[in-house]
Structure 1
Amino acid sequence: MNSFKNYLLLIFSIGLLTNCFGQNTSDFKPSFKKSKQTTHKIPEDQNYTFGYLEVLENRNKPNGNRVKLPLYIFKSRSKNPKPDPVLYTVGGPGYTSMRASMYMEYYKYLDDRDLILFEQRGTQYAKPSLDCPEWAQAVYESNLRGFDVAKTDSILQTAARECNERLRKDGIDLNVYNTNQIAADINDLITALGIEEYNLLTISYSTKISQVLLRDYPEKIRSVVMDSPLPIEVNYDEESVQNLLETVSALLQDCEHDKNCNTAYPNIKNRFLNYLEEKTKDPLVVEVENPKNGKPEIVYLEGKDLISVFSSANTGDVPNIPFEINMLLNNDLSSVKEKLSTLFEEPGKGTGLGMRLSVWCAEENPFNSQEKIKSETSKYPEVMGLSPAVFDDEICKIWGVESVPKIENKPVKSNIPVLLISGEYDELTPVKWAKSMANNITNSFHLIFKGWKHGPTTNWSNPCAMQAANDFFNDPGSKPHPECLAQTKSPEFKLK
């Protein structure tokens, strides 16, 4: 029985794989070329330039393959824009940045300066895009086979092997799809565009990119915003389960400290954790209809699966979490069944999954203690069997990419102005990580958005974090204090 959380992680699909081979020339220089064919339809009133940055796939092979990376340069709404643009790239690894291109009207940064939206190598609209439809199909098949762990592991290992062999056969060098090369791509772009000074906006995984840029290419960086920062020195896979349980406990303790919430859901923290432990020993049996054939499927859910009532929630869902937990404790499984029904959806194309594997297996897996991961998997009775690892060690052995140097697991030091932004209930990149970074990034400020989860600057229903980021870009020497910040308080939890 695999964790429902892990299914959500595994099912990620987008785009088509394209190869782009270089011409035989040793004097290659990165270049930006405009294109009329964009990745998305952009609103007519938006002023922008679209094109591709062309760089070497492997910088040690000047006669080798080239990759093409799409980007938008959105023009500022200001009549007198500031000269230093913001470069924005999203997290993942393996996710596309290009979807944001359709929503630039909501981005406050354009009130003051241009914004460059950059696609990382190996992701959806890059050429090539490292698709793994084999992986998406394997997840789909494992769902239909009753969520058996041994079978799922075998299916996923086969999928990883098939995808790896196909990509390598297509001439793709999987060893150069990593954070260091993305940082070098961005530096090449800044040079190709003739930009003298710029600002960085990064989120989640891409904050690792900004850390590498601060270390290796600091000369033209004016300021950096790291939303939900992931320190490069953190061994994510060793502590993700601990972070999840700590964050769940913090939210439920806040409910207990709230008079109305505690009255509605008394002692909810202990009751929920005890429930998870109970269901780990005696799994919850759920019958869910397979939407493809209308037949009932029996699913057995343990604590590691049921904790998804928290882990699958976003910031907008936070006020409802105690209510949803209470439904579960009262055996109201309507929400659980709704989530389970998505497991039977047709598989996607696994776009960017190969990029995710290359990054994780080169940068995270080599520094993991497999003993600690094994210990963490069996350490917590509430979620027994929930592995903290994004990819199993065996998957990374199959993927077979080279480990990055040890420096990529060491903290980055910098005195360039940095704003760290955290969500209070973010279990993926917890507040404590951003706090630890301040010891090495000495000219930094830290904002914590109470009641929020991962990615505060992407909270469309409340753009306060985006406002804070924009204020910082306008004045990197001061900690931003937008008026809206005082209004971000502990959530008003939904009551019965």
Structure 2
Amino acid sequence: MAEQSSHIAVPVAGVTMALLAALGPTAAGAAPPPAGTTGIIGPGATAASRFVPGPCPEPPEPIEALATARCGVLEVPENRDRPDGRTIRLAVAVIPSVSAEPAPDPVVFMAGGPGGEVFDDIPFLVSSGLNKDRDLVVMAQRGNLYDQPNLACPELDHFYARSVGLPSYAPQTEGLMADAVKRCRDRLTADGTDLGAYNSTENAADFADLRTALGFKQWNVYGHSYGSNLALTYLRLHPQGIRAVALDSAAPAQFVSLPFAWANAREGLDNLFKACEAEPRCKSRYPDLERTLNEQVRKLEAKPLTLNVRPPQGGDPVKVVLDGGALVNLLVAKAIPFADFPAAIDELARGNPERLAKARAAGSVEVDGQTAHGLTQSVVCGEWVPGHSTSDVLKAGREAFPAWPESAQAQAPQLPFQDELCRIWNVPDRTAAVRVPTVSSVPVLFINGTFDMKTGASWAPKTARTLSNSTTVQVPGIGHWVVPQSPCAQKVLASFLADPTAPDTGCVAGLRWEPFTITPE
């Protein structure tokens, strides 16, 4: 568990005045609540929710932007259906704008995952210009690192580090992962954690309460991956005070499920194959790249390679098993740069698996606590898995990649064994509450990368059908989380925040992907 803050909550009137003083003129128009109230009350806020100023988190690697940030925790009910139940604390930072005259409406960022650590994202957000003209607000989604409670699962971190030396989809591997999930669940529930309360509906309500508690009349929302899913849920349930919404690598709430993962992988790979075909040197050097990949998935699944490989981070060599499932997951996770993808597959076919094996070995370095696996499992098991059987996942795998063996088709990329794991995790089915299209006239910008194998670019226009004031942008050659990787996407996002009704997308037309690496034959 993360170290608990020693900050003691003071009466709410004192919190409000201290907060207004800390926030300065941006929030100066917010009036304090009446004396004697138990929380900061306002549209969309629950009486038990309040912001308590306090010190910023201290990540292992210092984050420069936190030196000038205004930090604290948002106190909210763990389960809003049980208002007299436990209160949880979510870490918050307001990064000041670099502008001398910032716009009054900040940007609030919703991280991916679910369960991704948001404070580590701050350097990427700042370098992408998110606080150039307005303040940037970040909040760790419930259960994250620096929150109380922290739903980290070191049991799973240890499993993932060990799994690089295991066959991807063997019964032994499934058993070890299931045991890690069970031990994490047992430990968290023994501490009194209500795992069913860590869901997108509560997450969205947390952000609605945060805007009110910080005293912002309106703000802009920027979310990527699961954060885009959450942003759409937030816009649907709490539209008050939302000026504009930017969705990066959109994972629309109404579509996300395990079979969805196969369609995304197919789309991203298809676009990459087409890009190689369109580049004369790539086409000549790596003819029929898709056939070569299919052959290697079949070959490795039938006869996996076991190697001892030194991780790219350094250290002693580790045992690595490279099978068809591992190859698929490495590609979807962008474990090697897209520019090197054809070369890596060609090298593998010629008997040199070193590049891919080193990418696999990178996962052997254990990073405890960086991912809130408890939030991950609760969202996946409550919102993504229900309503689809293992046969549905296999059918989607067959449709996407008919040339692959069934053992590789049967598990959704990066989400294996979920049917068994979710029986262990045992949270309520929330699909009726979350698999709902968002209907809104609030300006929405979609930014997707054409090589993204996690959230396919084609889902954006489908989602935009119920968003009457939306713009969709596809950036060639970029994978997951576009804005930090593309100066053009940064310009588009900045223009959207300046004028959500007329974003300047002109720079996209001239973009191309990074040329593919051409190795000697």
* TM-score, length-scaled by structure 2: 0.83
Render the CA deviation track for 1:55-97: whole Å, top value 9, x for unaligned. Answer: 1111122322111111111111222211111101210000111
SS state at 2:117 partner: coil
Render the CA deviation track for 1:200-254: whole Å, top value 9, x for unaligned. Answer: 0000001111111111111210000000111111143013224313422331232
Q: Identity rate of aligned residues, in percent?
A: 27
Structure 1 residue 46, shift from structure 2 partner: 5.9
Q: Tell me: CA distance 1:321–1:138, structure 2 relative to 1, closer, same or farther (3 Å).
A: closer
1:418 partnered with 2:441 = no
- Say which of 505, 508, 520 aligns to 1:481: 505
The corresponding residue for 1:277 is 298
Amino acid aligned to 2:515: E
Structure 1 residue 407, shift from structure 2 partner: 3.7
SS state at 1:101 partner: helix
1:35 partnered with 2:54 = yes
1:493 partnered with 2:516 = yes
Using the alignment, how far apart are the partners of 2:85 and 2:115 within structure 1? 23
The corresponding residue for 2:388 is 368
What RMSD in Å do the two structures reach over aligned CA positions?
3.0
Q: Tell me: CA distance 1:287–1:74, structure 2 relative to 1, closer, same or farther (3 Å).
A: closer
SS state at 1:222 partner: strand
Using the alignment, how far apart are the partners of 2:282 and 2:132 within structure 1? 40
Answer yes or no: is the 8 Å Cα contact 1:309–1:325 preserved in 2.
no
The corresponding residue for 1:468 is 492
Amino acid aligned to 2:155: E
Q: Tell me: CA distance 1:220–1:157, structure 2 relative to 1, closer, same or farther (3 Å).
A: same
Structure 2 unaligned blocks of 5 or more: 11-36, 40-46
Q: Tell me: CA distance 1:283–1:17, structure 2 relative to 1, closer, same or farther (3 Å).
A: farther
The corresponding residue for 1:16 is 2
Structural mapping, 1:87-486, within 5 Å: 87-102=108-123, 105-143=126-164, 149-280=170-301, 282-289=302-309, 297=319, 299=321, 301-308=322-329, 310-313=331-334, 317-346=337-366, 348-349=368-369, 351-376=371-396, 380-382=402-404, 384-386=406-408, 387-388=411-412, 390=415, 391-404=417-430, 406-459=432-485, 462-481=486-505, 483=507, 485-486=508-509
Structure 1 unaligned blocks of 5 or more: 1-14
Structural mapping, 1:18-97, within 5 Å: 28-40=47-59, 41-43=62-64, 47-97=68-118
Using the alignment, how far apart are the partners of 2:276 and 2:344 within structure 1? 13
The corresponding residue for 1:7 is none
Answer yes or no: is the 8 Å Cα contact 2:249–2:446 preserved in 1.
yes
Q: Tell me: CA distance 1:42–1:394, structure 2 relative to 1, closer, same or farther (3 Å).
A: closer
SS state at 1:381 partner: coil
Render the CA deviation track for 1:408-445: whole Å, top value 9, x for unaligned. Answer: 11211111100000000111110111110111112100
Using the alignment, how far apart are the partners of 1:468 and 1:221 within structure 2? 19
- Of 235-244 and 152-161, the range deviating more from structure 2: 235-244
Answer yes or no: is the 8 Å Cα contact 1:198–1:221 preserved in 2.
yes
Structure 1 residue 157, shift from structure 2 partner: 1.7
Using the alignment, how far apart are the partners of 1:63 and 1:495 within structure 2? 63
Answer yes or no: is the 8 Å Cα contact 1:279–1:302 preserved in 2.
yes
Q: Give the number of aligned pairs.
A: 475
Structure 1 residue 42, shift from structure 2 partner: 4.2
Answer yes or no: is the 8 Å Cα contact 1:30–1:53 preserved in 2.
yes
Q: Tell me: CA distance 1:93–1:384, structure 2 relative to 1, closer, same or farther (3 Å).
A: same
SS state at 2:305 partner: strand
Q: Tell me: CA distance 1:63–1:297, structure 2 relative to 1, closer, same or farther (3 Å).
A: closer
Q: Tell me: CA distance 1:42–1:263, structure 2 relative to 1, closer, same or farther (3 Å).
A: closer
